[in-house]
A and B are shown apart, each in its own frame.
Chain A
Amino acid sequence: GDSVTQMEGPVTLSEEAFLTINCTYTATGYPSLFWYVQYPGEGLQLLLKATKADDKGSNKGFEATYRKETTSFHLEKGSVQVSDSAVYFCALSYTGRRALTFGSGTRLQVQP
């Protein structure tokens, strides 16, 4: 079956540091890939997505590229802010036809 593996957290960074959160996946077909963010006490929000190989999703300074050859979708941001502190989830699915399969989440803590 499909699965998503994320790096364990927490990831602790100073403000303006570079962020990478690793995500790799195993899939039987050709899924769409997503990053969701969960701020403290809130629900999940879609951060960015990519629907096919070599697509780059981007939003709010975050980027991730769908790499079929390495089955990866790593999340990056050049300069994090305290307000980016949250839990980040990598996920896959098939254009809304099935439930999302989530990774275990990575908590990011950004210190001033």
Chain B
Amino acid sequence: DTAVSQTPKYLVTQMGNDKSIKCEQNLGHDTMYWYKQDSKKFLKIMFSYNNKELIINETVPNRFSPKSPDKAHLNLHINSLELGDSAVYFCASSQPGQIYGYTFGSGTRLTVV
């Protein structure tokens, strides 16, 4: 069973479109995250949710909107896509108080053309 699963794995879309990326974790973790990895491999936190509550909202354009219907899911919706949004987006989860680290999904490669 995949611990943190993201869909789709690849997403190619035109500028101006709206798209969503879904993430689900079956680890029972309370906290979920979205990270963006740019073309130079740099990883930056975008959002974090704890038990469906937004706790981290970094400087991200408001075209990006996370949604957490329950603590096992954290979806990312992006409006009016721009070329600069092309990146790999990683979902991750963790459990506060545990020392096991964070579990990452396999990533969604978004290409805006």
Contacts and interface: CB of A to CB of B under 8 A. Distances in A.
Nearest to A106: B41
Interface string B90-113: 101011111111111111000000
A96 B94 contact: yes
Interface residues on A, range: 20 to 34
Nearest to A96: B94
A89 interface: yes
A11 to B, nearest CB: 14
Interface residues of B, number: 27
Chain A facing B: main interface SS: strand
B96 A97 contact: yes
A105 B97 contact: no
A32 B40 CA distance: 25
A100 B96 contact: no
A69 interface: no
Nearest to B45: A99
Interface in B24-52: 31, 33, 35, 40-45, 48
B45 A100 contact: yes
Most chain B CB neighbours (cut-off 10 Å) among A42, A49, A95: A95
A43 B42 contact: no
* Chain A CB within 10 Å, residue with most, of B33, B40, B99, B106: B99
A17 interface: no
Interface of A: 32, 34, 36, 38, 42-46, 49, 51, 87, 89, 93, 95-102, 104-105, 107
